Amino acid sequence: MRALKTSPRWRNYLLEIVVFVLGLISVNLIFIAKAFRQSGTVDPETAGQLGSFVGGYCGAIFALTGVVLLVATLRSQRDSLARQSFENRYFELIKMHRDNVAEVDLHGTSGARVFVLMLRELRCVLEAVKKFEKSYNQKLDQRDRLQVAYFCLFFGVGPNSTRMLKMSLTWLDKGFTAALIRELEDPQTKARVQADRKFAYTPFEGHQSRLGHYYRHLYQLVDYVDHKITDEAERYDYVKTVRAQLSTHEQALLLINSLTPMGKNWWTHDLLVKYRMVQNIPREFFDSSTELDLGTLFEAGYFEWEDPN
């Protein structure tokens, strides 16, 4: 294996060497200046005048240089401490994110696998939304349907959950909302979906306790990098590491979350596009005709499967 080339150690002290050489030249001008020589020897009187000049004028310059170097050193130390503080907090947040994912549990299933089940459940809700959309002549586009389905997935139905779900759907026809909620509350519907999808849990009871904390922390992590790092390339690299923690289903559910009022800041602050947070969603993961046409949300070249040319 070839050895890595290393730079000479003296290059690390190039600035100090330059200052030292210039200092030697300045204080030894007396030996090269003809104006201070008589018959090839140094004239003591004129040399003394030069010494006073060098000590006063040049000394002040070097004192100023010393102050500038001190300020540069202090600034470098401050930047190093700031970077160390950022990275300590950054990796702490990364660890917290991993812990959050590991702790997500759904009746024996834990970690990233839970997001697979939640997306299956969301698709079941989406079918119910389409069913009652036709019955109540409720005209919804793809994003509207996904928003309704996500709210049903997030809040679920139950003594308290139904009330929160109704409040989130006040912009819809009341008859449509009531029919949709009745469908999700129906024990027979729950049993049928549970059997068809082979869920180990009763569906439509909500995932607010799982998703709320997860998305708040994920947003905090990306927003922290976005505000703390000024260099664009560095920011992207740090967030790229965050994105690498997300499974395909996590990215897919993140995209749906971002299309609702709860996740709108991903678009408002351009985090989803700038850092390509969902670029790893495979082609046709969402049915473009019945679920979500990704081409309407992102410019060409956003996803990793797209031809950059």
User: What would the pLDDT profile of 251-306 be if each residue is shown by its tens digit?
Assistant: 999 999 999 999 999 999 999 999 999 999 999 999 999 999 999 999 999 999 88
- pLDDT > 50? residue 3: no
**Domain hosting residue 55, numbered range:** 12-72
Amino acid at 252: A
27 and 171 both lie in a single domain: no
The helix (run of H) or strand (run of E) holding residue 109 is: strand 109-110
- Name the residue with higher pLDDT: 196 or 56: 196
Together in a domain, 229 and 287: yes
> Has this prediction a pTM greater than 0.85?
no
Would you say residue 170 lies in a domain?
yes
Give whole-number Cα distances, 32 to 35, 53, 264, 275, in Å.
9, 16, 73, 61
Shared domain for 249 and 216, answered yes or no, is yes
Structure-block tokens of residue 169: 């759907």
Q: Assess whether 51 and 124 both reside in one domain.
A: no
Same domain, 289 and 256: yes
The answer to whether the beta carbons of residues 284 and 276 sit under 8 Å apart is: no
For residues 65 and 142, state if they share a domain. no
State residue 120's pLDDT score: 96
Give yes or no: residues 163 and 288 share one domain.
no
Q: Is residue 305 part of a domain?
A: no
4 pLDDT band, cuts 50/70/90, is: very low
The total number of structural domains that make up the chain: 3
Whether the pLDDT of residue 21 is over 60: the answer is: yes
Treating both helix axes as pointing N-terminal to C-terminal, what angle do 142-155 and 113-135 enclose, rounded to 10 degrees? 120
Judgement on whether residues 98 and 224 belong to the same structural domain of the protein: yes
Query: Rounded mean pLDDT of the chain?
Result: 87
Q: Are residues 213 and 292 in the same domain?
A: yes
